[in-house]
Amino acid sequence: MDKLKFYIDGAWVDPAMPATLGVQNPATEEIFAKISLGSRQDVDRAAGVARRAFASYSVTSAETRLGYLRKIIAGFKARLPELARTMTLEMGAPITFATERQATVALFHFEEIVRVLEKYNFEEPMGPGVVRREPIGVCGLITPWNWPLNQVASKVAPALAAGCTVVLKPSEIAPLSALLFAEILHDAGLPPGVFNLVNGDGPTVGEAIAAHPGIDMVSFTGSTAAGIRVAKLAADTVKRVAQELGGKSANIILPDADLQAAVIQGVHACYTNGGQNCQSPTRMLIPRAQRDEAFAAARVAVDAVRLGDPLDPATTLGPMVSQGQFDKIQALIQSGIDEGATLVAGGTGRPAEINRGYYVRPTVFGDVTPQMKIAREEIFGPVLSIMSYDSEDEAIEITNDTPFGLAGFVQSKDRDHARAVANRIRAGRVYLNGAPFDRSLPFGGYKQSGNGREFGVFGFEEYLEVKAILG
Catalytic residues: 244, 278
Pairing of strands 363-366, 342-345: antiparallel
438: Cβ–Cβ under 8 A, 6 or more apart, which residues? 455
Q: How far is CA 86 from CA 102, 178, 187, 324, 379, in A?
A: 11, 10, 19, 21, 25
Ramachandran sector of residue 447 (left: φ over 0; alpha: ψ -120 to 50; beta: rest): left
210 by DSSP, 3-state: which?
Answer: helix
- E-strand ranges in 314-355 read 342-345
377: Cβ–Cβ under 8 A, 6 or more apart, which residues? 248, 332
Phi, psi of 22 (to 5 degrees): -80, 145
**Rounded Cα–Cα distance for residues 466 and 190 (Å):** 25
**Rounded Cα–Cα distance for residues 27 and 8 (Å):** 32
Give 3-state DSSP helix, strand, coil % of the chain, rounded to 5. 40, 20, 35
335: Cβ–Cβ under 8 A, 6 or more apart, which residues? 372, 373, 374
366 by DSSP, 3-state: which?
Answer: strand
Residues paired with residue 244 on neighbouring β-strands, in sequence order? 221, 450
273: Cβ–Cβ under 8 A, 6 or more apart, which residues? 93, 97, 101, 102, 146, 147, 280
Torsion of CA 177, 222, 332, 319, to 10 degrees: -10
364 by DSSP, 3-state: which?
Answer: strand
**Rounded Cα–Cα distance for residues 355 and 363 (Å):** 18
